[in-house]
Structure 1
């Protein structure tokens, strides 16, 4: 398969299915890890948030290393595929372990366990996800075909989110009866099922996709020079910073929704609300692809996240007065905004990788996707830490009716705090420079260079 050819449906499906497991990991971390640590393992909210943050500090080392090493890997199966094939089964065990309550009474030891378990899961996931993501710019060089490829990826990623958000408590309930004071066994079962799905989807992607020929010129820079060079890429920085800010906002929202439906909107089914949100997001993806072709990737992304910010503010000001139908309608609109964060960033990042190659003539996709994946995890970690601090500040107490103060804290997280990060991300994103014309100029420059080699 030539990397410049239009991709077949089979390749798009085979590659896309890998993101089902990838996004399933992020979903169960975003939706359920904080709740598991505070309400099942009984770790105070601030310590739970800090444990998640420590996991991300570990990622600050492992993500760059994995990206750098995958750029330099040479096997008959390619550079990227061996990584996610070998790490698939360990990932299943790591996720199961993460959601297994160790029943440690000492808070300090419990905190250490949480930090270590989460760090382990993140490290194994890094070995799957960063090489997988780094394949995107290698599979096609077409500006619009990348948007199409990522449309398939994101359709599967929404399925992963649907499973992680909508099926999680059903799986917990299979083992642990609803209303049980101890959901330990249920969460372990949930972790095992979802970990298995992650492993299977990674293996499917390995067999379904063949890598294009390896580049003749190997990146000989050391790891520090590679990452310094990547961070000097202005277009990349102007999408990475908004990406982190958006991930903080999305994670704050999704993780707080469990508290929101448990303690604020107790008359509304969270399972139905999540299903509506994510089906709306999936259904809106083709719309985002069409809008990006008409208005450009940057403008579509800004418009989608602005709309999303408006919806969460509506939830803050009016959500408590909505009945169940009003809440579900709000979830439909939130899903439209969320779809922009599924489709647009993954179609933008390959263009910044091409910008780097046009300027320097060195292929370092793994380096960029190492930083990109770290940005996701950093956003989730900062969100978890922020949530823990705010929940404790507003006197949240697990498993009891909440005071007006703690409910207000939950509402702040759902609305203004989330919207603040969306607005901040849009301000930075407004300066992103690569549109269709600029990308075509990059491709002309690259083809001229490659033709001389």
Structure 2
């Protein structure tokens, strides 16, 4: 393994060594064509992946429990089983993705195959045959919950793994991540905030048809434009047991995974509870949920640029912790909302905190992946991200606990059997339970620390000044980061070089 100084000496002239793997800087790290992936082409994929799954997670409970009259306890039981299946399939898909070797790359073929499966499953989920009730309705719900969830897992296991591979320099990576989070927020405005109005006009089934078709087209468009690193095809395939050992023995993985899982579970419950909150607590028409959701998502979009600037100035770690604290306090404030105006005011604070976590969460994960590659010389983004997905997908289990809790505490079982305190049940789902989850995430984030330095940032293996795809600037920035004493763009996270002769030192980006 080379030291920090060794890497400085060979940029643009000789093979760059990361871990134990020699990398030729004259070869393109962007794909077989020698061109880098445009950040916007990659980022738009988040729009495609978010359109169906946001409507799915936000309105599945309201559609089946309130609209179709399915018992909330049956919903909770199905979601508990689904959570286990969905958590297990993530590592499987990540392992398959890391080991895939085709002329079209490792990740792209899976995305292209999974996209239409996701669209069809999603459409059928919101299109149950007329007259289904009782056990047959539960079976339909269960089958298409699993199919929609597992196809979404397959898409995202591969889409997420592309971020650290396509964008090696952290400055460029932050731009790509900011763009894709922006696309996600646009998707949320359409598939979450506007869905109550759209479904009121054309119904859930037709809405799902439109969203599903758009999602499949955008995901395939993104996949076809991704320039995967050809060196990954010739690199050693990660072994399952070795990868599992590396992951489960990594302390930072557990801390980040638990933090991410708690945060995502809290926000998933918030989004699922908005329709109930508007109907039972605020006693307003369902379309009023659009205003509340639009506020949260709109403020998130507006604040994303601010958070991104803070990340580039101070690094993702401290900003990530601050954002989690802001989000937890904002969720607590939702318990005070008793009108649409106060709910919108509190929702704006939720949007502020939510935007900050969105701007930082994936960058924290990417730093961990860089650190692992620097240590081992093996690329296993799919396995790592799917292991994170294991925890994030457990939010379905946490959601089931939330609905079981309101059934036990408030007697709320379905739209036909709401109990005597449906307003308090909805407030518990929207504010109390999510606050507890996100507060725990904020506490755990305090224990995540990365080593200082620059070796965790893997240099792109393209020639400095290479005109192909404009990748030369990225390499110049990366080279500047690895040279102490330079003042070039992209050096926000630069730190002092590690002590000479310490080949096993992992650098620590500035906190």
What TM-score do you get using the length of structure 1 for normalisation? 0.88
- In the TM superposition, 1:17-96 aligns within 5 A as 17-96=44-123
Change (3 A) 1:70 1:334: same
Shift of 1:403: 5.8
RMSD: 2.6
- Counterparts of 2:37 and 2:159 in 1: how far apart (Å)? 17
Look up the match of 2:259: 242
Look up the match of 1:257: 274
- Counterparts of 2:36 and 2:342 in 1: how far apart (Å)? 38
SS at match of 2:214: helix
- Counterparts of 1:4 and 1:88 in 2: how far apart (Å)? 23
Post-superposition CA distance 1:368-423 (Å, at most 9, x none): 111222322212x1232022202322122544696652321221222221111111
Q: Would the aligned equivalents of 1:233 and 1:356 in 2 still touch at CA under 8 Å?
A: no
Change (3 A) 1:169 1:441: closer
- In the TM superposition, 1:189-208 aligns within 5 A as 189-208=206-225
Q: Would the aligned equivalents of 1:47 and 1:388 in 2 still touch at CA under 8 Å?
A: no
Look up the match of 1:409: 425
Look up the match of 1:113: 140
Look up the match of 1:368: 384
Q: Is 1:385 aligned to residue 403 of structure 2?
A: no
Post-superposition CA distance 1:134-182 (Å, at most 9, x none): 001101222232222110110011111111112222332233xxxxxxx
Look up the match of 1:212: 229
The correspondence for 1:281, drawn from 279, 292, 300, is: 300
- Counterparts of 2:299 and 2:119 in 1: how far apart (Å)? 29
Q: Would the aligned equivalents of 1:55 and 1:116 in 2 still touch at CA under 8 Å?
A: no
The correspondence for 2:290, drawn from 254, 267, 271, is: 271
- Counterparts of 1:366 and 1:119 in 2: how far apart (Å)? 21
Q: Would the aligned equivalents of 1:40 and 1:101 in 2 still touch at CA under 8 Å?
A: no
Structure 1 unaligned spans of 5+: 176-185
Change (3 A) 1:314 1:9: farther
Look up the match of 2:489: none
Shift of 1:325: 3.2
Look up the match of 2:192: 165
Shift of 1:259: 0.2
- Counterparts of 1:403 and 1:118 in 2: how far apart (Å)? 27
Q: Would the aligned equivalents of 1:68 and 1:366 in 2 still touch at CA under 8 Å?
A: yes
Change (3 A) 1:231 1:355: same
Shift of 1:234: 2.1
Look up the match of 1:146: 173
Shift of 1:293: 2.8
What TM-score do you get using the length of structure 2 for normalisation? 0.79
Shift of 1:438: 4.3
SS at match of 1:188: helix
Change (3 A) 1:347 1:429: same
Which deviates further from its counterpart, 365-374 or 253-262?
365-374
Look up the match of 2:492: none
**Structure 1 ranges of 4+ moved more than 6 A:** 7-10
- Counterparts of 1:403 and 1:18 in 2: how far apart (Å)? 42
Q: Is 1:427 aligned to residue 443 of structure 2?
A: yes
- Counterparts of 2:119 and 2:212 in 1: how far apart (Å)? 4
The correspondence for 1:313, drawn from 316, 332, 354, is: 332
Change (3 A) 1:9 1:396: farther
SS at match of 1:77: coil
- Counterparts of 1:331 and 1:106 in 2: how far apart (Å)? 36
Q: Would the aligned equivalents of 2:120 and 2:212 in 1 still touch at CA under 8 Å?
A: yes
- Counterparts of 1:295 and 1:377 in 2: how far apart (Å)? 30
Look up the match of 1:346: 362
Look up the match of 1:183: none
Q: Would the aligned equivalents of 1:62 and 1:126 in 2 still touch at CA under 8 Å?
A: yes
Q: Which is helix-richer, 1 or 2?
A: 1
Look up the match of 1:155: 182
Structure 2 unaligned spans of 5+: 1-26, 459-481, 483-497, 505-511
- Counterparts of 2:454 and 2:412 in 1: how far apart (Å)? 49
